[in-house]
Each structure stands twice: as structure tokens, then as C-alpha cells.
Amino acid sequence: MVKVRSGVNELKVYRPGKPIEEVERELGISDVMKMASNENPLGPSPLALEAIQETLGKINLYPDGNGYYLKQDLARHWGVEPEQVVLGNGSDEIVQLIAMAFINEGDEAIMATPSFPRYEPVVRLMGGVAREVPLKDHRHDLEAMAALINEKTRLIFICNPNNPTGTIVTKDEVKAFLARVPREVIVVFDEAYFEYVQDSTYPDGLDYLRQGREVIVLRTFSKAYGLAGLRVGYALTTPEIADYLNRVRPPFNVDMLAQVAARAALKDREFLQRVVTANEEGKQFFYRELERRGIPYIPTWANFLMLDTGVDSVRLFQEMLRRGVIVRSGDIFAMPTWIRVTVGRPEENERFFAVLDEVLPGLRK
């Protein structure tokens, strides 16, 4: 029997949303619609597709391992220095780099639950202790999280908006929270859905970076920019923290096509605004239809929402899957009667409710 690193046996394998191709292959159906992984239903920016096409002939070469031009663009876009930008194969890779750089055996990291499921395993993999704090009214309980801080605390993860609930913590709440956090503790603001938030009370993690706090702000091109398949995320942080993350970052972790597509997408402000507007319209449609059916839901600041069907979410997931609609069952979030649904295009949203109306009555008997 092979010997593995201590703790690996206890780690759970991440369960992504089912791919369309897998569902079509397993069930022998077509016209499958995926509303499970918070992908952008409008696809990528046309400028990104053009940049990829222009670069295809160069893929025999290694990409720029430092991502020089993408880092320059991101630094300019957010008003930071290039040495404050770290690129990742999706922001989830950077979550792992953070644990690798800052967690020693016995160190602690504080996080909410349910929240993005990668924080806990990467901390445990490095021999650290994950201190999980249950959400309060579906939101981060920052007061309870602050109460857990001790001399072993190295990291605090705040997913804002939170995945899977779509809720946010506010500027005033974060200000009060940071007043209780020692300066040497790194606070990670995971802002994967930053572009979707339309709320003046929402805090921009970069504000705390500019104030001299030891923070890491995570953002991504996978959501609003529609580049999930290319896997490109990034961190904005202090030059010192960025240096440590780059020391554990693997070489060539962001490929050539991802870099050129991200640069082009960043410049396409018109497309991004169209994405955000379509998402807001889709959210309002969901709210109206759910309220008309009397189905409880959590108001969201992201491009997905959680709704309480009142039935076993796994059975509902399976019945919808057979009809070609992929959603996310809430059992993995310890929310067994809830499902998470990505806001889609108008025709996708309408089809979701048509299928829901077809299967839900039978499961309620």
C-alpha cells in the first residue's frame, strides 16, 4: 500500500456541477441545459474570442510564465502596482497557494460554512486547522468569526458575495470586524462575483489593501467575464504577500490563450455591462416567479440563487436532470431541501420553471 501525506485520506473529492456532455452521454438525451455552476450564460466577450483566434498559431510555444502584459493591464485597471498582482489557474488555485505559503502544521484558518468548499481542504492538507463558523441568517457571522481569533490564527476567508447563498457582508460590518483582527493575520476577500454586486453598502476589498491592511483580494475571469473554461483568476495584495505566493506558484500556470483572452475581456466594458444588466433582469424574473409559487429563496447579489423546494434536493436534482436541466443540489451545503440555480438567459429561466412545475408536485406527495 502506498503512503500518502498525513490528512489526504480524510479529504473529500470536490464535486463540480455535472458537465452537459456527461449528462447527454449517461442519459442518452440532448438539448441539456446547465444551471449548476454559476457560469455566464451570455458566453465570453467577442473580443476574447478574436484574441484567442489570433493566438492559436503560437500554442507550440510556452506562455509568458510571469503573465507580464496581463498583470500590467490588471494593475492599471485596479490602480495597483504590477508586483501586487498574482495570476492563478482560476482563483481556486490561488486559494491553495495561500495555504501553501502561510499555513504550518497546527496553524488555524477561520471561514464560514457553508461557503466556497476549497478553503477547508487546502488548510487541512497543509496540516492546519479549519475553524468553520455557521452562517447566521445565510450570511457570514463576522462577530462569531472574530471571537475565534487566537495566537494560532493565520488566515481568515470571507467569501463576499458568499457561495452558495449569494449574500454579502457590508462595509460597516467589515470595518468593525477588521478592528478586531490583529494586523499580522491575513484576511482573504474572495470576490469572485464582485462585478455582479449592485449595492452601495458592499465593501471593495481593495479599499483595505490601500489602507495598508494585510489582505488578499481574489477575483476571476470565470464568472462575469465568461472565461470559466480557460481558468484564469488573480489576487491583488501587498508586494510582500505576492512575492510569497509567487514562490509556491507553479511555472506556466496560466496558459497563453487564457492570458490573451483575459486581456481582451478586461477591455470590453460594453459586454460586461450587458452581462450585469441581463443578470439583474434574470434575478427579478426569478424573484417574481418564486414568489408567485410561494417558494422561499435567498435574495442574491451574485449570478445564482438558493431556493427552498421543501423536498429532498437530491431527488429533485435527479428528476430535473432526466429532463435535461442541471441544477446544484443543496445536500453538499448541508441544506438538504434547497437547490442552487444559476441565472440564465430568459428562455433558460422559463424552461427551468416549466421543468420545476412538472416535477415538484410529484415529489411533494
Please give the backbone phi and psi of residue 346, each rounded to the nearest 5 degrees, phi first.
-50, -45
pTM: 0.95
Interatomic CA distance for residues 220 and 233, integer angstroms = 4
Provide the edge-to-edge strand list for the sheet that holds 304-308.
304-308, 338-342, 328-329
- 60 pLDDT band, cuts 50/70/90, is very high
pLDDT of residue 7: 74
Copy the grid coordinates of residue 241. Answer: 504577500
pLDDT of residue 14: 72
The domain segmentation of the chain, as residue ranges, is 8-43+270-364, 46-268
- 222 pLDDT band, cuts 50/70/90, is very high
310 Cβ partners below 8 Å, 6+ apart? 295, 337, 364
Find the angle CA(117)-CA(122)-CA(123) to the nearest 5 degrees: 105
Left if phi > 0, otherwise alpha if psi is -120 to 50, otherwise beta: which for 53?
A: alpha
Q: How much is the mean pLDDT over the chain?
A: 96
**What fold is seen in the domain 46-268?**
Aspartate Aminotransferase; domain 2 (3.40.640)
The answer, yes or no, to whether residue 183 has pLDDT greater than 90, is: yes
Interatomic CA distance for residues 227 and 42, integer angstroms = 11
The answer, yes or no, to whether residue 234 has pLDDT greater than 90, is: yes
**Location of C-alpha cell 416535477:** 359
pLDDT of residue 125: 94
Residues 109-154 have pLDDT tens digits of 999 999 999 999 999 999 999 999 999 999 999 999 999 999 999 9
Average pLDDT over residues 339-357: 98
Average pLDDT over residues 163-174: 98
Q: Which residue has the higher pLDDT, 273 or 19?
A: 273
pLDDT of residue 19: 81
pLDDT of residue 21: 86
CATH topology agreement for domains 8-43+270-364 and 46-268: no
Residues 64-78 have pLDDT tens digits of 999 999 999 999 999
**What fold is seen in the domain 8-43+270-364?**
Aspartate Aminotransferase, domain 1 (3.90.1150)
- 1 pLDDT band, cuts 50/70/90, is confident
pLDDT of residue 47: 98
